Each structure stands twice: as C-alpha cells, then as structure tokens.
Structure 1
Amino acid sequence: MFGLLRPCAHGAQKYGIDSTEWRAHLCGLCLGLRDGHGQFARATTNKDALVLSMLTEAQSGSARRTTAAPCPLRGMRRASVAAADSPGVQLATTASLLLAAAKIRDHVDDGEVAALARGPLAKAATRWAADAHAGAARIGLDVEPLAAALEAQVRLEQEAKELVAAGVSGAAVRRTNAYVPESLATSPHWQSAMAPSADPLARLTAPTQLCASAFFAHTAVLADCPDNIEALREAGWQFGRIAHLADAVADFDDDSAQHRFNPLAATGTAVGEAYDLLRQSNSRLRTAIAAAELSRVPTVRWMLLDPLTSVLRRIGGGLGMLAAHTCSVSRDTAGLPHAEIRAHVRGTGHRPPTRRPGVGESLALILGGYCTGYACCADHTRPCTGERKDAWIKRCDCSDCGECDCGCCNCGDCGCCNCDCGCDC
C-alpha cells in the first residue's frame, strides 16, 4: 500500500467520526481489487485513492456497506466495509490500477528492478492498465487522456534529463517543445502547463495533476452533483501538484545521492521554493473544496484536509521553517473588499497576526519561549498563555494529525485540537 494521506484516529474523535471509517474504505478498495482483478492486484492498493470513494459518498449522502470476512490485517475480525461494487470504490479501483501500472512501467524502464523481475512486472503492468480501462468504461470515465498524460510523463522526464545532461539550465526547459498528445488538446490546464512560457516544473507535474483532477471531478459525476465538477477538478489539479512535489521533496537527498531523476533538481527548483508551491496548492485546494460546499463535511476534513496540512507541517518542519499564517478566502468572503474580509474574520473570533516576528522572537519561538502567533504552540496551553502543557500531552504520538497552522489553535506535537477560529487555513 502506498499513498500520501494518513488520517489520525484522534482526529476522527474530534469530528465525531468512527475511526474505523478509513479502514472501511481501505478494505473496500482492497476487496474490490481482489474480486475484480485477482489476488495480486491487491498490491496496487493506493491509500490516496480512498479519497475518491470518500468524496463520492460525501456528495451523494449515502454509504453502502457490507460485512467482510475475517482478515489477518484486521486481527482475523469481521468488519463493515465499503461495498466493492459501489461507484466510489470502483473509481478508486480504477485509479489504483492505472497509477500502479504507470509506476511499475517507470521503474522497469529505468532499470530499477532486478533483471529477472522485469518481465513479470511489465506483464502485470500491462494487465492492470487494461483492467483500468475496462473499469473506467463501466463507470463512464474517459481514461484515454489520463493514459496519454502518463505516457507524456515519461517523455517529459526524458526531455528534462537530456537537457540536464547537455548542461542546459532549468530556465531553458520552458523554451523546448513538449509532447502534447491529441487527446489532451482540449484540456485548458494541460495547455497552460505546456505553454512556451510555462514554468519548467509545471510541465513535469502536469501529468500527475491532470490524472488527479479527472478522478476528483468524476466523483461529482458518480454522485450526480454536476455543479461540483469544476470545483473538484480544480481541487484535484492542486492535489496532484501536492502529491508530486511532496514526493520530490521527500526523495530529494536520496535521488541526488543515487543520481536518480528528481523534478526539483532537473528544473533548478530549490526545496524552499517547492515548499512555497505546496502551501499555495494547499490553499487553492481548500478554496475549491469550499466552493463545492464540502469543506465542513467531517469526513472530508478528516480524510483530506487535515492530512494535507500534516504533510506540509512535516515538510516544513524538516526544512526548519516557521509555518506562516495563510488563511484561504472562504466562499463567505470571496469577492469582498479587504476591509470587509478582515471584519468577517474578526467576527469569527480569530485575530490574524499583523507582522512577522523579528529574529529575537523567532529564536525564542524555536526555543519554546513564547508564542508569536505565527506557529502553533506545541508545548503551550490553549488559548496560549505561555504556560506549558502537561508532559503526557506532549508525548501524544499522533504527530501526523492537525487541522490548521494559523496560530490560533493548539495543533503542535499532538495536533488533536478543536479549531474554533473559523478560518480555512
């Protein structure tokens, strides 16, 4: 199983959700892969694809469940899981197969697997790709542009490698002619990413973004919510960039040491710049989710928004960065003058910081001296009075959860907080 999103059980309690809900979607996807494509297909289980099943249910307002037989991964216990033939699970199954097939082909082509395993893995990838096409046809998803985008990914990376080998700077990548499949000609997002003036990094992340946007948008189709299609397409586009860049940042050192391809190194993008792009995409994704009126749905916040914030917090923490306040504009304030937006925020009880901390304040913050409002107080009480939390709270092991980094919540080491500031951070 692989994927980016890891919801925290403590977060489920915060929202009044049964913490087994995530497992219900995970087991439903695993069983859907087994029933439709064989036991070996269960190896393609992608935890991020569970969001597709969850988003479909969140929009349709219905959740189909079935009782699964005992499983070793559940301690040989039965469980209520998402029905394998439900539309959301079928979409998640299609996504898992398609992305796994592309990933395996990429590893085989790059020679990153043993010689004896290349043949069987290539055969499995071909079968999974065919199964993904068949599954997509059953739920009305046009998968041809997605397959073309994944093929384009290989060409784009090869082009970037050749330019790097030739000593061409990252800025020159934007003047090259990228491969544009005919099936992608009508995608405005793709056209923008492939424009001559586009950022070179945007070219390399575009295939992942296109696939994610199509899958997110199709959840609205399956849930019969046509008004949400464009908003979720935008949310998926941003999610794709987060997934691609987060992986690039996490693998940057290893890729450099082993001389493997990394989009950041190939385009001359600093890790700090990538982090800024991640924060930008996270803010835009939240705005799009709010436009679809899903930002206050508990399961959406628990399984999508909170884990994304945790991803950014982990990356930012690894870079030694302070999390700055980046509230996104919600639907209630969209289009309003700046003064009215600030009045709306004040009405929620949230007081955003008005200045950045100085060097001395930043040092004191890092050392745990006091709160400046620019980072969550990991060691302090809520509301922050400068007093430290009890030791047992600091030892909470759910460091991957958290809702916002706006400074008005106690979302530090534990992250199990109730965010009442009213902002979408």
Structure 2
Amino acid sequence: MLKPCAHGAAKYGIDPGQWQAHMCGLCLGLRDGHGQLARAATNTDAIVLSVLTEAQTGDSGARTTAGPCPLRGMRRASVVAANAPGVQLAATASLLLGAAKIRDHVEDGDAAALARRPMRRVSSTWATRAQEQAAQIGLDVQPMLAAIATQSALEARAADAGTPPLAVVGPASPGGVSLTAPDAGSLGTLITLDDLTGPTQLCAATLFGHTATLAGRPENVVALQKIGRHVGRIAHLADAIEDLERDRARGRFNPLDATGTDMPRAYQLVRESEAAIRHAAAEAELDQLPTVRWALLDPLSALLRRIGQGLGLAVGHACRTSPVAQRHSPYQFPSPPGRRPNRPGPLKAGGLILGVYCTGVACCADHTSPCTGEEKEAWAKRCDCDSCCDCGECCGNCCSCCGEDGCCGDCGCDCNC
C-alpha cells in the first residue's frame, strides 16, 4: 500500500534510492536479529516507520554497505543500518504482521492440513521474536497483541448479528487515539465498521506513535498516533474493498458486507482518513516533510485514486499505464539484465478493475501546487486550498490542479481536469 512512486522523488529533490535503502536495511535487520527465515516477513508498508523515525531526527541516520543481492541485480548498496531504531521498529511490525497473517491463513483453511502445524510454529516464533524486539526499543506490544486477539471474536459477532439495513460507522476521535484494546465481549449486538477496524487502527497508531518516541520528539506522539490510526483504517478498508468480490464468491466474512457498507461509503471513509492524515502530518514537527510526503502521503493519494477510478468517480491527474507513464510506476528494483521489469497488476474491487495509477497529488494543508511547487499566494488563485483536502478534489470540483494549461509540464501525466 505504501510504495512511493519513483518519479515523485525527483519532484521533491529526494534520492529515489532511499526507499530501497530502508527496505534492505529492514530485510538485513530481520536476518541479523531473527535468522534467514525472518526475512520472509519483510513488510513494505512497515518501511514507512523507519522513514518517519529518520524524518523526525533531522539527519539521514547511519548507513552501512550491504553485499550483493539478487533483488538489486547482484549489486552492493548503501542501506540503513540494521541496528537503527527505525529499522528495529519496522522489524517488530513486520514480525507481528507476518505472525498474524500466517495465523489467519491457518484459521481460514487456506493452508493444506500438513502445512498447518509448521505454519503455526512459525507464527508463534515470530510473535515471540516481535515481543523480544519490541522490548529492546521500549515498545509495549501487549495492547497490540490483545487487540489482534479480539479480531476473530469481533468478526464472529458481526457475522452472527447479520447484515444491518444501513452502514453504521462509529465516531472517530477528533484528536489522538485511544490506545485501549477493544473488548469484544462488552460490545452490543450490532458491530460497527469502526469496531471491526479498531484493532488495526490501534496497532498502527501504537507503531506510528513510537516513531516519535524513538526520534526523541515526544511532542509529535499524538499527531503520529493520529496518522497511524487513519493509516490502519485505510489499510483495513482497502483490503476489504479489494477482497469483497472474492469473499462473496467464497462465502467468507467481509467487514463491508457485515456492516452493510456500500462501496461509495467505503470510499468516502478512505477519503476522510486520507485527508486527516495530511492535516496531522502538517501539524507534526517533521524535519524531512518532503520525504514523508513522498513515502507516505503520495502513496495514500494513489490508493485513493485507484479506488475512486474503480468506482467510476471523476478524479483527475491519473498517470495511466501508457508507455509514457510506465516510468511513473511504483518504485521497484531494477530488473536483472535480459529480464523485463515487473509491472504492477490491476486491483479488483467489487467486480471492478482498478487500473494502475501513480500520484501527482500534493497536500493542500501546506498550500503548495503538486505540479509546480508554487506557494499558496500563486496556488490559491486557481484553487481554494482552505476548502479542499487534496488536489484530486480540486480537479473534480473547483479548479485545475495542473496549471492553466491543464497538464503538468514534462511529467507526462494524463490530467483529467
């Protein structure tokens, strides 16, 4: 979900190799701390935790030279040190997520009978290692483990309650996030969508908030927890949207069906969370805001755009999978000689195909143009930045986000303004 677009790095004046440096550092951190098998737990979404930690410290952190790797075309590279605090936090998140994912596969019956016992063993080992890793960086994972344990009970209660006639979405906290694990047994008969996404929100809020603690920026904890809570909600809802058709075909649980939430409402919730993340990022004291925009905000905008395009909504500035836009594809490793580069595949949602798009969207919260970098004085002439949350909304409702001529200069984007 959080793979930045390579061409956006140049727009922000950022080395596009930073994302790879953080991912390789995470992979090596898992290997050094937990063995070769743990490298399979490398989670690309967890990389943003390492990026956020560095973004609050004011420097690029320690780097080390990694040996040749097939994913880098057998080239050496300068990567984030495996013992960096952000990498250790990302490793903790990767192990927790990997353990939960394996356990879900076993419980859902996706694994063969003979594979279930070794998969449970790996899941248990990774969960234990995650707790040990968390202890080294002062992170209390017990609330997260308790929240994860309630997920199955919440889904069971929602399934037993039946589908309500209308979607019921619990109120969002106006500021910060409660870091108390939900009590499935204390909930009423009707389970809301916020109840079902609550464990994911809590885990993400805890992890994101701890980046501020590791960076020595306690004043950022609340803002980062808010960002994490909404990232968690987006992740859960995006997964539900993507799996909706498949879950219906297989008769499996899906939070959208369980709460009677239709696709437009799900899209609206994702959009609200994406806007909240942008405002929280503007409130936080981040020393490397362009890097955060590139690694976190832009990928979320791209996800929002893909969902909107899949629903047939009018959202502009979409870089389609044309020959020109192929160089705008999400960040990927260089292909070995003689091999064609891997292309990102389409995303299915509710029977609709969501094409592959990259993002050119910037944040109205800091009042700059996504295409020219103009400050508010010039930018606001074409867009009311105080009344819209992103430039996808500007393109759809009030103005051209791409300039007077409706395109982005030499970026090759296909603007639908």
**TM score, norm. by length of structure 1:** 0.74
**8 Å contact kept, 2:407–2:415:** no
Q: Indicate whether 1:393 and 2:412 are aligned.
A: yes
Structure having the higher Rg: 1
**1:216 is matched with which residue: 177, 188, 208?**
208
What are structure 1's unaligned runs of at least 5 residues? 176-184, 333-343, 355-370, 395-409, 414-425
Q: Which runs of 5+ in 2 are unaligned?
A: 171-176, 318-360, 368-374, 386-394
Q: Which amino acid aligns with 1:352?
A: C
Counterpart residue number, 2:125? 127
Give the corresponding residue for 1:9.
Answer: 6
Q: Deviations over 1:7-28 (max 9, x none)?
A: 1110111111111110000000
Alignment pair present for 1:94 and 2:89 = no
Partner of 2:153: 155
| Pairs within 5 Å for 1:22-33 | 22-33=19-30
Offset of 1:254 from its aligned partner? 1.4
- Work out the CA distance in 1 between the residues paired with 2:62 and 2:269: 37
Query: 1:32: Cα distance to partner?
Result: 0.7
Task: Answer whether contact 1:324 1:375 (CA < 8 A) is retained.
Answer: no
Distance 2:45 2:227 in 1: 14
Q: 1:115-166: CA deviations, max 9, x gaps?
A: 11111111000000000000000000000000000001111111112223xx
1:298, CA displacement in angstroms?
1.5
Query: Deviations along 1:311-361, whole A, 9 cap, x unmatched?
Result: 0001100110123999987489xxxxxxxxxxx96664343379xxxxxxx
Matched to 1:45, the amino acid is T
Amino acid at match of 2:91: T
Aligned residues of 1:33 and 1:93 also touching (Cα < 8 A) = yes
Instruction: Give me the whole-angstrom Cα distance separating, in 1, the residues matched to 2:33 and 2:269.
Output: 38
Corresponding residue for residue 230 of structure 1:
222
* CA distance in structure 2 between the aligned counterparts of 1:34 and 1:321, rounded to whole angstroms: 44
1:44 aligns with 2:41: yes
Matches within 5 A, 1:394-409: none
1:206 aligns with 2:198: yes
Deviation string, structure 1 residues 362-400 (Cα, Å, up to 9, x no partner): xxxxxxxxx8755868xxxx524368989x936xxxxxx
- Choose from 99, 102, 105 the match for 2:103: 105
SS at structure 1 position matched to 2:412? helix
CA distance in 1, matches of 2:160, 2:21: 45
1:264-283 equivalent positions in 2, closer than 5 A? 264-283=256-275
CA pair 225-277 structure 1, distance change in 2 beyond 3 A: same
Q: Deviations over 1:217-273 (max 9, x none)?
A: 000000000000011011110110011101111111111112221110111100110
Residue identity matched to 1:121: M
Q: Is the 8 A contact 2:57 2:287 kept in 1?
A: no
CA contact (8 A) 2:161 2:190 kept: no
Alignment of 1:23-422 (within 5 A): 23-62=20-59, 63-164=61-162, 169=164, 187=179, 200-294=192-286, 297-323=289-315, 330=365, 348-352=379-383, 382-385=402-405, 393=412
**Residue 319 to residue 120, structure 1, CA distance change in 2 (3 Å):** same
Kept in 1: contact 2:4–2:298 (CA 8 A): yes
In structure 2, give the amino acid aligned to 1:252: L
Once the two structures are TM-superposed, the CA of residue 107 in structure 1 deviates from its matched residue by 1.3
Aligned-pair identity in percent equals 53
Matched letter for residue 43 of structure 1: A
| Greater length-normalized contact order (CA 8 Å, ≥ 6 residues apart) | 2
For residues 411 and 213 of structure 1, what CA distance do their matches in structure 2 show?
Answer: 34
Whether the 8 Å contact between 1:55 and 1:300 is mirrored in structure 2 is yes
1:300 and 1:171 map into 2 onto residues whose CA distance is 37
**Number of aligned pairs?**
349
1:179 maps to: none
- Given that residues 174 and 197 in structure 1 are in contact (C-alpha distance below 8 angstroms), is that contact kept between their aligned partners in structure 2? no
Give the C-alpha shift of residue 112 in structure 1. Answer: 1.4
Aligned-pair CA distance for 1:294: 3.0
Once residues 372 and 17 of structure 1 are traced to their aligned partners in structure 2, the CA distance between those partners, rounded to angstroms, is 29
**Which residue of structure 2 aligns with residue 423 of structure 1?**
none
